[in-house]
Structure formats: C-alpha cells, structure tokens
Amino acid sequence: ELKLPSYKGQSPQLHLRRYFADLIAIVSNRFRLCPAARHLAVYLLDLFMDRYDISTQQLHVVALSCLLLASKFEEKEDSVPKLEQLNSLGCMTNMNLVLTKQSLLHMELLLLETFQWNLCLPTAAHFIDYYLSIAVHETDLHDGWPMVCLEKTKLYMAKYADYFLEVSLQDHEFLNYAPSLVATACVASSRIILRLSPTWPTRLHHLTAYSWDFLVPCIERLLIAHDNDVKEANKQKGQQTQSAQHAVFQPPAPNAQQANAQQHVPQYLQAPQSSLQYHHSASQQPSCQQILSSTHTASYPLQTCPAALHTSAQARGHVQSGAAMALAVPLEVKPCISVSYNRTYQVNGRYSCITPCFER
C-alpha cells in the first residue's frame, strides 16, 4: 500500500470520470464480477487517465480494457468477460465502437506498460473482508440495547459496508486517502448508521491501526454522499407517489360553484414524509451521544483539481491504438492547488430510522 503510484487528479477528462466509473460498476455487476475486480478496474482507469489525454470515444475502450485486465487478475478464467460480450454492450453500440482482438491486445499492452506490469495494487475492497471479520461483536449495543440477532446485524453490516465501498468509487477525491483508511471508514460509517455502540471499539482501533479522529474526514465524505442518496431516493419516491395519486384521484373539471368550494377544502393527499432524515443539530436530540466532537478541527490537506483543467503544455508524441485512435502522451499539467478540507458536515447526531427491521 505504501508503494502505490501517486495520483494527482490532473486528467483533462476528469469531469467524465464519474460516468466511466459508473460504467465499470454496471458492466461488472452484469458479469457478476467480484468487488475487488471492480475496484481495481476503476483504480487502473484513474491512474491511466491521470497520465494521458484521452478522447471521450476512446475512454470507453480504455474503461472496458481496465475492467478486462482487472477481471483476469482477480477472477477465475470462466468469469472473465468475452470479447463478443463486451461488443454487445449498449455503450459500445451507441458509440459505434467495435473491439477487435488486435485493438484490445494493443490497449492491454499499453495499460500494462503504464503500470510496469504490476497489477497487484491494493484497493479498499481488498481490506474490507478483513475488517468485517470483527466489525460486529456480541458485546456491541444497538440503540443502547443488547442485540437480539447477531447474524442479522452482521448481514446488515456487510451490506452497508458494500454500499459505502461503492460510494467511494464515485468520487476521485477518495484517492487522497489510503485504501485501508477508506475501508476502515466504510466500516465506521456503517456502525454509525446501524446505531451500534461504542461507535469505534478498541478492537477495531487495534486491528485497523486507525484512531477515530484520523477517520473523521473520510467518514464525513461518505455520510454526505449517503445523505444525498437518501434525499434523491425520497424525492423520486415522492414524485412517484404524487403521480400515482394524480392518476387515481384526478377529479373531473369543476364548475364555478365547485371551484369556489374547493378553495376551502384541505389537501388530504400529501406526499409521504421521509423517515430517513439526519439530525444535523444536536439540540434536536439532547440525549443523543455525540459521535464526533464538534470542536474537532480537521487538518488533513487534500489535493483538489478544477473540473475544467487548463494547461499550456504540449503533448510530446502519440501512441496509436488498434482502433486507429490517438492517445496523447502524458501532459505536463500544472500541479493541483493544495487546500485544506472544509468540514461543513457535523456528525454529531445520529440517523433516526435507518434500520427499521431491527428489533430490541
């Protein structure tokens, strides 16, 4: 882990990174690849984009080649996607792209030479199983009460940890943290949502070698993404409910007397209120345990880079791929601006109703 290549976040196509990370995730799920292969593929894509100026069309080929290399490294041979299966994907047909054996071979060789033939690159997915082995213990409390079913809690812990792992793939800023730290933060965030106490027990501190204060910035990023997902899900649910109610209960056009009367009729059909709300203010729950100290000051610098990166450097040459498309040789890009992480998300409350299926 200490020998991982540096990531500068200087790709001119950085604004497209989220799309191609999602593409790799969707394709890997279609072929039922393991999380380690998915995370390694996205990591290879990040490192490769960081070194080359790549056209949008060619990025599809690069992303699929990264997934193919990662699956060859992490999966059994029978699970590796076949060439005709990759060509049948919708993203390939929409872009009028066709992978040939020769073009794929050239792309794989270019990738391997870029990484010096070393694909043994640890990701957060390689650490998570090790940490999940003791993530839940029978001595833990749920909402201050002993757990009724330890196995159910372990199951939900694994599901939430997998969810946060996928969240970490969506933002390149998680590459500023060590993979083991991201995996640890996924476990800690899962314990917060599952309302397990103590939030960060001594056994996890010893196993991961990460203290709670050191995990705080990464945990906050994960919980911010979780809140945004919950808000978006509730918004879509409310829109679907309103559209269904409108279709079922749409009254006929009222006449003048009915319209006058309807002004005084209350609206009985309201969109359901979300039960997955995060209490940002500790005063709303005075009895809640403070998970993070509000006086804690983050001092972990992060390297950030604007989406539209401007550089005056010129490419020194071109490498031709089998698909007759050019990849520019690495650019001399201006270094990213070093800024301090601005903590705007106070994790000093707790989620009110995240795990309704748990019983005391």
For residue 158, is it within any domain?
Answer: yes
Same domain, 96 and 31: yes
Contact between 53 and 331 under an 8 Å Cβ cutoff? The reply is yes
For residue 91, is it within any domain?
Answer: yes
Q: What is the pLDDT of residue 247?
A: 63
Same domain, 189 and 103: no
CATH of the domain at 56: 1.10.472.10
Q: What is the pLDDT of residue 130?
A: 95
Same domain, 143 and 195: yes
Q: Which pLDDT tens digits describe the chain residue by residue (360 residues)?
A: 999 998 998 888 999 999 999 999 999 998 999 999 999 999 999 999 999 988 888 898 899 999 999 999 999 988 888 888 888 887 777 777 788 888 888 999 999 999 999 999 999 999 999 999 999 999 999 988 998 899 999 999 999 999 999 999 999 999 999 999 999 999 999 999 999 999 999 999 999 999 999 999 999 999 999 999 999 888 888 888 887 776 655 555 545 444 443 443 333 223 333 333 333 333 333 333 333 433 333 333 333 333 332 333 333 333 333 333 333 333 333 333 222 333 333 443 444 434 444 333
Same domain, 148 and 89: no
For residue 301, is it within any domain?
Answer: no
Q: What is the pLDDT of residue 304?
A: 31
Q: What is the pLDDT of residue 92?
A: 77
Q: What is the pLDDT of residue 293?
A: 39
Same domain, 45 and 116: yes
Where does a domain end: 177, 199, 230? Answer: 230
CATH of the domain at 141: 1.10.472
Number of compact structural domains in the chain = 2
Same domain, 92 and 131: no
Q: Which domain holds residue 79?
A: 14-120
Same domain, 115 and 213: no
Q: What is the pLDDT of residue 182?
A: 97
Same domain, 138 and 226: yes
For residue 347, is it within any domain?
Answer: no
Contact between 218 and 181 under an 8 Å Cβ cutoff? The reply is yes
Dump the DSSP string for 290-344: -SS-TT-----EEEE--SS---------EEE-TTS-EEE----PPPPEEEE----
Where does a domain end: 88, 120, 152? Answer: 120
Q: What is the pLDDT of residue 321?
A: 36
313, with CB counted inside 10 A (0-12, 13-18, 19+), is exposed
Where does a domain end: 98, 120, 142? Answer: 120
Q: Can you read off the two tokens belonging to residue 269?
A: 């059909």
